[in-house]
Amino acid sequence: MAGTLYVVATPLGNLGDLSPRAAETLKRVAVVAAEDTRHSKPLLNHAGSKAELVSFHAHSSDRALERILRILQDGRDVALITDAGTPAISDPGVELVAAARGRGIPIVTIPGPTAVAASLAVSGIGGDRYVFLGFLPRKGSDRRRLLLTAASSEWTVVMFESPNRVTQLLADLIDVCGADRQASVSRELTKVFEETRAGTLQDLSDHYADAPVRGEVTVVLAGTGKPRVEERPPDPAERAKALLGKGLSRKDAADRLAEETGISRNTAYRLVNDL
């Protein structure tokens, strides 16, 4: 018989949040597949686990994936963990879970901490329905598309962000949502310096402009409360004329056109140059 893959949620920061069931699972399995073995070693020591630690992260090779699958197919149990929270939720693990399921390997969830639920609970913003966007792309048309998705969402939107990019995210949200949209910023959840600030996007932007952020961050954005009205995408040719009419250079107009309409940059450049 194949072993079982246990998908184990681990603390966001406070080791006291490790559930008894999670601790027992980590002690019982033969192998723990961890995002960062150095980071996870203290957790296993805390749980009293003697399991073999193997590395499995977002950039792991197919060979690493196959190694874990062979361990499972040989009949040994494996626990999948990440540095914090629940695996496969904007964290490594989806490929392993999907591959194990495809080979008929039993998969069991050991639920527990997740920054999504924790930040929603303390935001003061309704969480009965929400959209989770994870980490937004750093730039380009995909970032713009997801920012517009967040701005137009009827429901609350949850996003992750690294501390050095929070001010830029807040500025971009103000650009698409307006300064008065309600939001919250949670950082260092469950740790000594845990903090959640709530207010308008402008309030939060002003605060964090003068107070550098430390620790992983979760941003919760209030929804519009209204069903999204699907708008026809702008006609690329007409939009190109309008952008050039505003005095934008051909390069800037083409970049903006690609972001707004979703067409490729090469197509946007050709369209602008043809005009």
Is residue 124 located within the same domain as residue 38?
A: no
Q: How much is the pTM?
A: 0.81
Q: Show the domain range for 62.
A: 5-113
Show the tokens assigned to 65.
């994936």
Give the pLDDT score at 211: 86
Give the pLDDT score at 212: 82
Is residue 42 located within the same domain as residue 100?
A: yes
Q: Fill in the amino acid letter for 208.
A: Y
Summarize pLDDT for 234-258 with one digit per residue, the tens: 788 888 888 888 888 999 989 988 8
Q: Could you tell me if residue 229 is inside a domain?
A: no
Is residue 127 located within the same domain as residue 109?
A: no
The answer to whether residues 190 and 14 touch, using CB atoms and an 8 Å cutoff, is: yes
Q: What share of the chain is helix, strand, coil (3-state, %, to 5)?
A: 45, 20, 35
Main-chain phi, psi angles of 149, to 5 degrees: -60, -45
Summarize pLDDT for 105-135 with one digit per residue, the tens: 999 999 999 999 999 999 999 999 999 999 9
Is residue 179 located within the same domain as residue 262?
A: no
- With a cut of 50, list the residues of the chain below it in pLDDT: none
Give the pLDDT score at 91: 77
Ranges assigned E (strand) in the chain: 5-8, 31-34, 52-55, 78-81, 107-110, 130-135, 156-161, 182-187, 195-200, 217-221
Q: Could you tell me if residue 226 is inside a domain?
A: no
Q: Could you tell me if residue 231 is inside a domain?
A: no
Q: Could you tell me if residue 227 is inside a domain?
A: no
Q: Could you tell me if residue 230 is inside a domain?
A: no
Is residue 175 located within the same domain as residue 216?
A: yes
Is residue 69 located within the same domain as residue 130?
A: no
Is residue 142 located within the same domain as residue 185?
A: yes
Report how far residue 249's alpha carbon sits from residue 67's, in angstroms, rounded to the nearest whole number: 53
Is residue 87 located within the same domain as residue 143?
A: no
Please tell me the total count of domains within the chain. 3
Strand partners, 10: 85
Instruction: List strands edge to edge, sheet with 182-187.
Output: 130-135, 156-161, 217-221, 182-187, 195-200
